[in-house]
Amino acid sequence: NAGVTQTPKFQVLKTGQSMTLQCAQDMNHNSMYWYRQDPGMGLRLIYYSASEGTTDKGEVPNGYNVSRLNKREFSLRLESAAPSQTSVYFCASSEATGNNQPQHFGDGTRLSIL
Partner 1 sequence: AQSVTQPDIHITVSEGASLELRCNYSYGATPYLFWYVQSPGQGLQLLLKYFSGDTLVQGIKGFEAEFKRSQSSFNLRKPSVHWSDAAEYFCAVGAFGDMRFGAGTRLTVKP
Contact residues for partner 1, defined by CB under 8 A: 4, 40-45, 58-59, 90, 92, 97-108
Q: How far is the CB of 64 from partner 1 (least distance, A)?
A: 17
Q: How far is the CB of 105 from partner 1 (least distance, A)?
A: 3
User: Closer to partner 1 at the Cβ: 85 or 109?
Assistant: 109
Contact between 100 and 1 under an 8 Å Cβ cutoff? The reply is no
The number of residues in the chain equals 114
Q: How far is the CB of 71 from partner 1 (least distance, A)?
A: 19
CA distance 28 to 75: 16
User: Closer to partner 1 at the Cβ: 28 or 99?
Assistant: 99
CA distance 114 to 23: 24
- Identity of residue 67: S
